[in-house]
Amino acid sequence: MKFIDESYRDLLRIVWKESIDDSIKTYKMNRAVYDTTCAPYLAQQVLKQLVMDDRHNYPLAASAVSSGMYMDDLLTGAADIFSAKQLKKQLVALFRGGGM
């Protein structure tokens, strides 16, 4: 599982208070957070980073992700069954390496 770089964690804080009498607790997020305004941007950046990090190991997957992603959907294809199976294998490995 990939984590947010420590230098950026101060930018993703949650301030929490259980009740009015409790003291304030501050948490820093270690992983990308969804349901925030920046979540779509973060999702795209994670995909770009995965491609940059592992394109030499998974060239078919890297090409498909670079050109065929829309949010969390991949729009791609293959010329034959063998190529489709190779692409699927590489996509699973690429995404698994990113903790997905």
State the Cα torsion 14-45-60-88 to the nearest 10°.
Answer: 30
pLDDT of residue 76 exceeding 90: yes
Residue 94 in this model has a pLDDT that exceeds 80:
yes
Q: What angle do CA 71, 72, 78 make, to 5 degrees?
A: 105
User: What's residue 70's pLDDT?
Assistant: 84
pTM as predicted = 0.65
pLDDT tens, 4-35? 888 888 888 889 999 999 999 999 888 776 66
| pLDDT tens string 29-64 | 887 766 666 677 778 888 999 999 999 999 999 999
Distance CA 32, CA 39 (A): 8
Domain ranges of the chain: 1-33, 38-98
Higher pLDDT, residue 72 or 53: 53
**Which residues 6+ apart lie within 8 Å of 76 measured at CB?**
64, 67, 68, 87
